Amino acid sequence: MHELVSRINDPALCYVFARNAHRNGHPELALQAHRRAVDLRAAQHEPATEAEAAALRAIYAYEEALSYGKGRRTRATGTWQLVNRHGLLGALRKRLSSGKLEDVQPLLAQLGMEDYSFEAVYAAHRRDFEALAA
């Protein structure tokens, strides 16, 4: 990560930086700023496990992909409702089983956040998801 991006400590400033970087011909810095914003937003919570931390990053990356695709800030309202009802891992499991995430994968790839996808989190923390199902 570039030093300028790593010094940003507020997600809102990451979005301003990304917009300016893109406008000034530095799309790679804009992508890093979007990723930093996801990390900072996820860090505002206190997850109990590493799997929950990864789930938070995945949800915020999902919101970032939706926002990037629509051109305006978009919240994953339905996903957050699932989190409130079923917890972080339960919500991710339900979103994965719904099968409605195919349209977001290309956007996550454009943003360089494939490793923050719901599928990647599930693959990395399969035991935690299986323990939840049991």
pLDDT of 134 strictly over 70: no
Total length of the chain: 134
User: Could you identify the residue written with the tokens 């923390």?
Assistant: 125
Question: Which pLDDT does position 102 carry in this prediction?
Answer: 73
Evaluate whether 101 touches 49 at the Cβ level (below 8 Å). Answer: no
Helix ranges, 24-117 (H):
27-43, 50-70, 77-98, 105-110
**Portion of the chain with pLDDT greater than 70, in percent:** 99
How confident is the model over 16-43, as a mean pLDDT? 96
Q: What's the mean pLDDT when you consider all of the chain? A: 93
Query: Residue 100 — very low, low, confident or very high, per pLDDT cuts 50/70/90?
Result: confident
Helix (H, G, I), strand (E, B) or coil at 45: coil
The number of beta carbons lying within 10 Å of the beta carbon of residue 43 is 15
